[in-house]
Structure 1
């Protein structure tokens, strides 16, 4: 690992390792260190930037500090009218204030009227006095372990409550249940609460309160419906008293009245579940065992279905609950969400109260009794209360469990927006206005204190920013630049201020900050309505990964001459080139205005342009563009025409519908629109449907490997492309016969398209043609081809570029130098010579050395990419140098991405690199008869070639005959020895049944004609100048003979010369004629 990579790893590890996180309203976040806050903004430090940055609170969502939970050491929890909850010691109480002291905020005076209650957090005989956040709670259950969920599903919410969003998740608290226990809890939900709460003792005794439909049922030694919940019920408060030894159990409701009471003697441990018979409406009681026991109660008014459901639940609980729920308290959420607002577990004296008062003010004592009394005054040791009869009593604080001050909070103490919520890891929670954070101390202005309160934040869990109004409209992220570091995305604005590193201004930041020089960084520029410099006349692909936009001036054996607007280089060594790709004229994306759009089928009646972006197609009509698939987005509206279907063919071979393409099918049935991909049988697969009676806006998003279709902004499907789904860059739009209903009129409107910056059309290369071009025949080993020219239609010509200008290429192919107009060439590729292992080792050694210093990669709108040592990011351009390209100046408006590391190759680079030649394998030995050819018994690909004597030979028209194709050339000695024998053998057959064609390989007409006249040979000769037909029929060496049967299938293949080779071919022909 070199030094730069080591620094990068350390920086990224530093970002990932920071516990603190800064979250924006738009969902983005960055790790780092919370430095402080002041005057409506947060100060943040991150390894991404070399200096702290300040960002406004109105764009922020929260600051996360520590995600762990701890237990407070303070003795009291004080609930305030604004929702805040303070932990501390009570040192005094008078008519106006409550004096509280804690290690976190020191001594403060809380306005008495803001105090709702005081709850003791530590008391003898009270295993769990009150909720204090998530400390001690454990998410449990087999489904949790199976899913391996990393984030906590149960979370702390205001009031130190626990909340869970999501079905069927449980949380447990390992608490020791006394022999005589009182448990009180309050639950709420956004819907009717659905829950199961279980208290389990070490001896496996348990008590369960659970909802079934609208019933709240009690399970233990009894099973009974104790309460019904209305459909609009959202909160439930219950108090349970349980004698584990006698089985006595009582349950009280939110109003303090007793709902149910049972008392059953202990029973054995054998578990019995009753049988529910058809038609029964009661669940009979039978002897049982364990705490569950048998069913002894009835579900009052329940129908048989509910009874059966309850029994099934009983069976499930008896068989599996002990394996899931640990000793202590377990809470299961059975609905969409559930919040545990309050919980208390303490010893019970065994005497049931007549009712449980909820009157306020009141005093709750640690021995379980209640006093209907009001707190009058207090000091650090005792509380003085006044009962209803006016008598005052002094109570030591260690005898006081809770002090309830008022029932309903006063609106006067509600904090006004904007406000900040401050949470601590022990559950303490403060609501107010954040004035500042300095030196790990947060200063808050609150409604419960006349003076600002200072809090130490060494155990801060998070800050939440609520109710801030931005001073601007909603931020449109599509109009902002995006910074990506370690897969974290942060939108903002690139600031080029003349430094060697770019500066970045995050959303809401007060000013730009300098970026660090280490780390894997990527900046993606916002795409303007009219991106600059989308086209380049040529792109020069270099061995080191640079792609230089420019203009070709000349090519010779040693170098390539060019001009570039971004680089000072004028000459490039030939060995540095991988390829040159040429661009055409820019597409006109305004509707159908580009001149490439044309009728594919039909006439004026079948294809009707009703506007520059509107199109009407009738049965038999289609509309296409041969090179349109350079775009990355297509938009149009599919109009409601009663019943119509549209096929959009993407990646066609020009406007040829017969070649492979990606066919998208759309149907509009008047009230519904459907979409699918065309499958075999011309039908729609995996239909996506959406209701619509009007025009349906359709967007087709295109990347190099995917096509995603959207209906009115909703993703209908994302399609991953494979090579069989495209053969070119064309598009065809046409009606479609959906479900056998025939083609019907279809109309589209508002057609438009976009080209993404940096997107370059991938040169079309037929895979077999490429393979053939890279295979060097044995006779060419000493003089292999050096270049390949690619045409727009995928045709390929290999040879040696002897010269080139801005107007044409001169390429020597075989023995002939061919002049090719530059406008017919889409790319020129430098071929890599075959090399043995020793040569490859020497070449690798020669390439070793000190790599060039590259600080940034600049990716351009026109497909260019430059690796530079950047000197400065100026306001209008980036200045830098390159060992090969010299001084460079790149206009900032033409850059769509800036990276600190080498970017991955795009599809065009992959298509144009690694054109490595290979030597042809030794031909099939003559004695094998060539019968190992993969073409055997396959349909011969049809072709049409010009004949030497005039006219054409069209294989498609020769069905019913035996066709013998003999591939040869005038310079081929074995061919010259083979041909006379082949002519003699073929002359014995009836020309109406057998046709013999000699296919000459890559020689000009005059050369072939002179050769035949000299020897006096007379037979039909077809000219395969490009060797395309030879490639398709597997010609790797000559002579090569292919025999095609009357059914059009390849019946015999032979390569090479042997004395009786012609006789072998004749025997194969005779066998075909006998069939």
Structure 2
């Protein structure tokens, strides 16, 4: 008995201290090419169609993918699983462990996609995310970056209340982090060592105009920024010129080596060419006294746009980095050495490198390697392609072959077989990156029917199938769908100009705002009995009835306010002015028409 009590107590204790369950991802938002949206989830999909489950409809909408732009949701970034980032030449990115390298293929093991065999010719390289002397390598999309302003020397404040971070930070092919808005910035919390080796590459559609600040735990701040065409180092009021930028420049790539104790600072090109040396000025800690225990890297866009293509933070041993040809394949080692050559094979234990025709093959432990560069060619993202992006930085470019059981199959240029990826953490499924296909009903957008379900407005066509429930054919719909019976909905038909309507004997105006055509059969103090071709009800109680209009002139021209039937009920020509489609009424005035009952 005592043993049983002990077990039960242990189970209760474990239950009390168990971590709370992970909340489910929020629903996706489906975007049509015309800008309309609808929340829901992807049920299944093929190369040509998609089944979209939404609470606004009784059953999933079946849609032609050609009319759809994307499905997305806002999710906070999470750290990727796996020690390496694998970048493809089309900009796709995967994270995981190395399984093998052969002359033709690279195999990785990904938590999201399982084992993936990559075409070696389509892989740019693999980079370790953290290592012995490696503090950080990236960017991995917006993972770790924050938009709350902590920019030393910046006059930009926090973003406006309620602003959407997704409009300020964009993820581009290759995991590139883009800040498209002027005077906006982001910062990354990172443990900066006292002696650091910091490399970054930024790109812009115009001459780069930016500020990068390294702020240590002791609040020493070193800034690399542009002053018009001048690229400078700055600390406080002191500065050191690095080089001039020309109007043709679109990128800046630098390697900053800085010892905060000796104040020695040197600037190099990525290939090891010395650009500037500086002894930084002595600085006082910011008011407050104690170290923060961490540091930050801060990037601010001072111009049209700025993209962070590469960032790496390592400890610096005080020696100059080696010179090498940055355009050649190579291994980058944890101790800072660079070995140029071709990788012949690789395993989870090590990598073999052949440096030249006469050199012997070198075998190096994988733990001592920070990066393997197979090709230094720039990313070339072909169009049009679909793309899948996840909150851990995973990005897959290709053609979506299908969706089933919470996973998507995507055909890519860098694999022979489609890749399967689970939907957990999916931020965006973009159906096409090229020009949108115009697949609709062959009618102008403003000539379609309109459906309002809850707060959502959709355009399409009203469909009658002979039963008591109307159906809706959305733009790109393959089957008509029934709007939800649990959510209020309103449908507005579009009728072309000068449409001839069938004659009805009466219109019944309800207090709910409905107008029902029909024939009055009897009336008494309890209400009106009638027959209507569009409703099954035979009687309207007097409490639900607002008015009955006999012999309504359906199709009468009531467009605008020039019709002779309009009468000023309160006021005069000075207080009620009507011309064409314009009506100006002063307070306390009224206007009416015999063909429009009050309130209509």
State the TM-score bracket (shorter-chain normalisation). 0.7 to 0.9
Alpha-carbon distance in 2 for matches of 1:36, 1:574: 49
Alpha-carbon distance in 1 for matches of 2:535, 2:398: 58
The 5-angstrom pairing of residues 248-259 of structure 1 reads 248-253=264-269, 257-259=273-275
**1:35 lines up with 2:35 in the alignment:** no
**2:586 equivalent among 723, 734, 737:** 723
Alpha-carbon distance in 1 for matches of 2:112, 2:526: 77
The 5-angstrom pairing of residues 568-587 of structure 1 reads none
SS at match of 1:398: helix
Counterpart of 1:224? 240
**1:67 equivalent among 60, 63, 75:** 75
Aligned length: 560
Alpha-carbon distance in 1 for matches of 2:554, 2:70: 50
Report the CA distance shift for 1:207/1:501 in structure 2 as closer, same or farther (over 3 A): same
Alpha-carbon distance in 2 for matches of 1:119, 1:491: 47
Counterpart of 2:88? 80
Is contact 1:132–1:427 with CA below 8 Å preserved after alignment? yes
**2:230 equivalent among 203, 206, 215:** 215
In the superposition, the TM-score normalised over structure 1's length comes to: 0.47
**2:367 equivalent among 370, 384, 398:** 398
**2:162 equivalent among 128, 139, 148:** 148
SS at match of 2:133: coil
Report the CA distance shift for 1:435/1:528 in structure 2 as closer, same or farther (over 3 A): same
- Cα offset, 1:509, TM superposition: 2.1
Counterpart of 2:396? 430
The 5-angstrom pairing of residues 621-700 of structure 1 reads 625=562, 627=564, 658-661=574-577
Alpha-carbon distance in 2 for matches of 1:570, 1:60: 43
Alpha-carbon distance in 1 for matches of 2:446, 2:564: 28
Alpha-carbon distance in 2 for matches of 1:182, 1:336: 28
The 5-angstrom pairing of residues 313-392 of structure 1 reads 327-353=295-321, 355=323, 357-388=325-356, 390-392=359-361
Is contact 1:196–1:332 with CA below 8 Å preserved after alignment? yes
SS at match of 1:346: strand
Alpha-carbon distance in 1 for matches of 2:493, 2:406: 37
Name the one with the larger helix percent. 1
Counterpart of 1:233? 249
Show CA shifts across 1:83-115 (max 9, x none).
Answer: 211212112112111122222222232111111
Is contact 2:173–2:395 with CA below 8 Å preserved after alignment? yes
The structure with the larger Rg is 1
The 10-residue stretch of structure 1 (543-552 or 463-472) with the greater mean CA deviation from structure 2:
543-552
- Cα offset, 1:531, TM superposition: 3.6
Show CA shifts across 1:1013-1056 (max 9, x none).
Answer: xxxxxxxxxxxxxxxxxxxxxxxxxxxxxxxxxxxxxxxxxxxx
Counterpart of 1:263? 279
SS at match of 2:135: coil
Greater length-normalized contact order (CA 8 Å, ≥ 6 residues apart)? 2
Counterpart of 1:109? 117
Show CA shifts across 1:827-857 (max 9, x none).
Answer: xxxxxxxxxxxxxxxxxxxxxxxxxxxxxxx
Alpha-carbon distance in 1 for matches of 2:114, 2:542: 77
Counterpart of 2:101? 93
SS at match of 2:69: strand
**1:464 equivalent among 410, 413, 430:** 430
Show CA shifts across 1:926-962 (max 9, x none).
Answer: xxxxxxxxxxxxxxxxxxxxxxxxxxxxxxxxxxxxx
Report the CA distance shift for 1:476/1:257 in structure 2 as closer, same or farther (over 3 A): farther
Alpha-carbon distance in 1 for matches of 2:34, 2:574: 47
SS at match of 1:159: helix
**1:441 lines up with 2:455 in the alignment:** no
Alpha-carbon distance in 2 for matches of 1:206, 1:406: 35
SS at match of 1:408: coil
In the superposition, the TM-score normalised over structure 2's length comes to: 0.81
Alpha-carbon distance in 1 for matches of 2:79, 2:509: 63
Report the CA distance shift for 1:579/1:502 in structure 2 as closer, same or farther (over 3 A): closer
Report the CA distance shift for 1:376/1:629 in structure 2 as closer, same or farther (over 3 A): farther
Is contact 2:147–2:165 with CA below 8 Å preserved after alignment? no
SS at match of 2:202: strand
**1:130 lines up with 2:138 in the alignment:** yes
Counterpart of 1:6? none
Is contact 1:40–1:57 with CA below 8 Å preserved after alignment? yes
Alpha-carbon distance in 1 for matches of 2:316, 2:113: 35
**2:481 equivalent among 513, 520, 540:** 513
Alpha-carbon distance in 2 for matches of 1:575, 1:156: 58
Alpha-carbon distance in 2 for matches of 1:628, 1:343: 74
Is contact 2:91–2:175 with CA below 8 Å preserved after alignment? no
Counterpart of 1:46? 54
Report the CA distance shift for 1:567/1:263 in structure 2 as closer, same or farther (over 3 A): closer
Report the CA distance shift for 1:435/1:19 in structure 2 as closer, same or farther (over 3 A): same
Alpha-carbon distance in 2 for matches of 1:32, 1:565: 35
Counterpart of 1:495? 463
Is contact 1:30–1:488 with CA below 8 Å preserved after alignment? yes
Is contact 1:122–1:129 with CA below 8 Å preserved after alignment? yes
Alpha-carbon distance in 2 for matches of 1:541, 1:555: 15
Is contact 2:527–2:545 with CA below 8 Å preserved after alignment? no
Report the CA distance shift for 1:557/1:360 in structure 2 as closer, same or farther (over 3 A): closer
- Cα offset, 1:185, TM superposition: 1.4
Is contact 1:236–1:254 with CA below 8 Å preserved after alignment? no
**1:909 lines up with 2:580 in the alignment:** no
**1:408 equivalent among 377, 402, 406:** 377
Is contact 1:661–1:727 with CA below 8 Å preserved after alignment? no
Is contact 1:75–1:89 with CA below 8 Å preserved after alignment? yes
Alpha-carbon distance in 2 for matches of 1:519, 1:587: 34
- Cα offset, 1:54, TM superposition: 2.2
Show CA shifts across 1:864-918 (max 9, x none).
Answer: 9xxxxxxxxxxxxxxxxxxxxxxxxxxxxxxxxxxxxxxxxxxx428xxxxxxxx
CA RMSD of aligned residues (A): 4.0
Counterpart of 1:677? none
SS at match of 2:476: coil
Report the CA distance shift for 1:220/1:41 in structure 2 as closer, same or farther (over 3 A): same
Alpha-carbon distance in 1 for matches of 2:404, 2:532: 54
Alpha-carbon distance in 2 for matches of 1:333, 1:168: 5
The 5-angstrom pairing of residues 468-483 of structure 1 reads 470=437, 472=439, 476-483=444-451
Counterpart of 1:857? none
**Gap runs ≥5 in structure 2:** 1-23, 150-155
The 5-angstrom pairing of residues 789-828 of structure 1 reads 826=594
- Cα offset, 1:522, TM superposition: 1.7
Report the CA distance shift for 1:461/1:537 in structure 2 as closer, same or farther (over 3 A): same
Counterpart of 2:63? 55
SS at match of 2:121: helix
Counterpart of 1:187? 202
**Gap runs ≥5 in structure 1:** 1-15, 270-289, 292-318, 595-623, 631-650, 664-699, 708-720, 729-761, 764-791, 793-825, 827-861, 865-907, 911-1075
Report the CA distance shift for 1:523/1:232 in structure 2 as closer, same or farther (over 3 A): farther
Alpha-carbon distance in 2 for matches of 1:561, 1:53: 38
SS at match of 2:461: strand
The 5-angstrom pairing of residues 502-651 of structure 1 reads 502-533=470-501, 541=509, 547=515, 625=562, 627=564
- Cα offset, 1:184, TM superposition: 1.3
Alpha-carbon distance in 2 for matches of 1:385, 1:79: 20
Alpha-carbon distance in 1 for matches of 2:214, 2:478: 54
SS at match of 1:129: strand
Is contact 2:116–2:419 with CA below 8 Å preserved after alignment? yes
Alpha-carbon distance in 2 for matches of 1:92, 1:573: 79
- Cα offset, 1:402, TM superposition: 0.9
- Cα offset, 1:427, TM superposition: 0.7
